[in-house]
Structure 1
Amino acid sequence: MTVQDDPRVPDTDAVRAYLLGLQEHILVELERLDGKSFLRDNWQFPSDATLRGDGRTRVLEDGDFFERGGVNFSHVMGDCLPPSASATRPELTGRAFEALGISLVLHPRNPYCPTVHFNVRLLITTAPGEALVFWFGGGIDLTPYYPFEEDCRHFHQTCKDTLDPFGKALYPNFKAWCDEYFYLKHRQEPRGIGGIFFDDFTGESFDDAFDVMKSVGNAFLDAYVPIVERRRGIPYGKHQRDFQAHRRGRYVEFNLMFDRGTQYGIQSSGRTESILMSMPPIAKWHYDWHPAKNSPEAKLYTDFLIHREWV
C-alpha cells in the first residue's frame, strides 16, 4: 500500500478545497440575508514568523442585519502543538502540527435573532520516528436571547438529521458533549441552548471522518437561516437590546476563559484580529442583575438555559 492509498493518511488538499468552497457558499447566503458585503482579507504569515500558512478572513461590521459577522478560513503549520490542542492528549505534547478549518460567529442586531457559532477543522500532528496522528473537530451551537421553542427544535433536529446517516449514537453523544463544553462553570449556566460539538474524531478511516465533518459543514445554513428568516422582522426596543448586551457579556466570558479555539489561536501566536473576530461589538455587565419574575428574560433562564432533549 502506498502512502496515497493509506486510509489513515489525511488528504489535506481535499479538506482545504472543501473548506474554501464552503466558506464562499456560506458568504453568498449571509450577504443575501444582510444586503451588505463582507470585507475580504487574505493574509499570509511573514517569512520570519513562528508559524507558517495563510488564511482568508471575511468580516462584516455594522451590517443591515448582522451587527458583526465573521467567516474565517485558516491553514496553519507550526513546530510545536499549542497546549490547548494537546490538553486531552498529553502524549502529543511538543509535536509539529498542521491545522486547517473554518470558524464562524454571527451576531445579529435584532435581539429576537440568536447568535450562532460554527466551526469545522482538521488537525494533524507529526514527530520524527512516530506515527502521524490526525483528528477532526467542530460543531454548531445556538445562543438565543429571546428564544422560541420551534426554533430550538428545528436547530437540534437539523443537527440530528445530519449525523444520523453515520450512526444513531453520534447526535446524542455530540449533543451531550456540546452541553458540557459550552458551559460557564463560574456562572453555573449554559452559554445557550447547545447543538453539537465533537473533537478528537477519527472515524473508521480518514474518508469516514471527513464525510462526517462535511455533513456538519453542509448543515449550517439549513440549521440557522430559517430561524433568522422567521424572526428578523420582530420589533424591539432599548430594553431588549440591553438584555441582549447583558447576555453577550456571557459570550465574551466563555470565549476568553474557556474556548479551546481562542486559546489555541493565542497560544500558537496566531493572527489576533482573526482570533478575536468572534467577540460581539457591544456587551454589558450589570452588577448582580436578575430578571423580573415571569418576564420574557426570566423565561430564557427557566425554560431554555437548562438541560433539555429537544428532539
Structure 2
Amino acid sequence: MSEDFDERKARASGWFRSLRDQIVAAFEALEDSQVEGPFAARPAGRFEVSETRRTAPDGGDAGGGLMSVMRGGRVFEKVGVNVSTVYGTLGERAQAAMAARKDLPGIKEDPRFWASGISLVAHMQNPHTPAVHMNTRMFWTPHGWWFGGGADLNPCIEYEADTESFHATLKAHCDKHDATYYPRFKAWADDYFFIPHRGRARGVGGIFYDDLNTRDWEADFAFTQDVGRAFLPAFLPTVEAHRNQPFTEADKDAQLVHRGLYAEYNLVYDRGTKFGLETGHDANAVLMSLPPLAKWV
C-alpha cells in the first residue's frame, strides 16, 4: 500500500504542476494578445515565479512549491497560480478536527499527512471581466485519502450569459464521470461560498467538493483532473467577451467594493487559508488570493 501511494502521490503532484504550466502559458498569451483598451500600452504581464518552503515545527524541511504571481498586466491586475506539495505531522487543532471524522479514527496516534494541489485566483483590470478562483488537491494520511477542489466565478458586474457558460462547461466535465456530481457540487459551492455576515454569496457560484473518496482512486483522480481541465474553457470566454469593453469610474468603484467582499470571505471563512496558515506554509503564498486593491463602503 505504501509503495502504491508513493507512486500515486507523485502522479497527483505532477498533474497539478502540469496544469499550472498550462494555465500560466495561457494567461501570458492573453497578455500578449491584448492590443486594445486603456491598458494595452503597458508591457505584457509576466509571472514572477518564486519557490515557497514549509518549515516543520522542529525546523526541518516539510515541503514547498512554486508561487507564480503576475501584477499590473494588460488583462490581469493580479493573478496567482500556486502549486505545493507539503508533508509532516498535523498540529493539535487539525488533529482534533480530523479525529471527529468516522473514517480517520487513528489520526491522533499517527498524525502524518501529505497534501498537494494547485490554487488560482485572478483579479482583472477590466471590471466587466469577472474575478475567478480554482483549486484542486489531494490529501493523504495513513488512515485515508481524498480529493477536493472546484472553481467559482466572482463578477462585480454580473452577466447572465457568463454565468450560464461557466456553469455549462463545469457541468459537461462533471457529467463525464457521474451525473450526480454537478448538481451536488454546485449546491455545495452555493453553500460554501456564502458569506453569513453579509447575507449573500461572494459570486455566482460554480462547483466545490471535498473529502472525495469513492474507494476508486483512479476514478477520483480522473475526475479531479477534469475539474482542472475545465477551468480554461470555462473562464477564457468571459475574458474574451469583456476585456475590451468600455468601463466607467463607477464600474471600477463597484469592482473595488466587490473585492472587499472577496477579501472578507478568504480571511474569515476559506478552509485553504486557514489550513495553510495553521500548518506553517509560506504566508505570502497562502494570502496570494487577496486583491491588490479593495474598498469598503
TM-score (norm 2): 0.88
Does 2:30 correspond to 1:27? no
Shift of 1:137: 0.3
Residue pair 2:45, 2:71 contacting (<8 A) in 1 also: no
Match of 2:116 in 1: 100
Q: Percent identity?
A: 37
Aligned position for 1:80: 90
Q: Aligned partners of 1:25, 1:90: CA distance in 2, in Å?
A: 38
CA distance in 2, matches of 1:270, 1:9: 22
Aligned to 1:38: 47
Q: Could you say which residue in structure 2 is the equivalent of 1:49? A: 59
Separation in structure 1 between the aligned mates of residue 176 and residue 146 of structure 2, nearest angstrom: 20
Q: 1:86 & 1:207 partners in 2: Cα distance?
A: 29
Structure 2 residue corresponding to 1:276, chosen from 267, 282, 287: 287
CA distance in 1, matches of 2:219, 2:91: 25
Task: Check if 1:166 corresponds to 2:190.
Answer: no
Partner of residue 39, structure 2: none
Q: CA deviation at 1:202?
A: 1.0
After TM superposition, list the pairs within 5 Å mapping 1:194-273 onto structure 2: 194-273=205-284
Q: TM-score, normalised by structure 1?
A: 0.84
Matched, 1:16 2:13: yes
Over the aligned positions, Cα root-mean-square deviation in angstroms equals 2.0
User: Do 1:106 and 1:117's aligned partners in 2 also have CA atoms closer than 8 Å?
Assistant: yes
CA-to-aligned-CA distance 1:210-239 (integer Å, 9 cap, x gap): 001000001100000011011101111211
Q: Which amino acid aligns with 2:50?
A: D
Asked if the contact 1:124/1:135 (under 8 Å) is kept, the reply is yes
Q: Which amino acid aligns with 1:259?
A: D
- 1:146-157 pair list within 5 angstroms: 146-157=157-168
Deviation of 1:51 (Å): 5.8
**How many residues are aligned here?**
278
- CA deviation after TM superposition for structure 1 residue 248, in Å: 0.7
- Contact 1:51–1:76 (CA<8 Å) still a contact in 2? no
Contact 2:138 2:146 in 1 (8 A): yes
* Unmatched runs of 5 consecutive residues or more in structure 2: 32-43
Cα distance change, pair 50–9 in 1 and its aligned pair in 2 (3 A): closer
Deviates more, 1:49-58 or 1:26-35: 49-58
**Residues 1:133 and 2:144 are matched in the alignment:** yes
User: Which ranges in structure 1 are unaligned for 5 or more consecutive residues?
Assistant: 127-131, 287-311
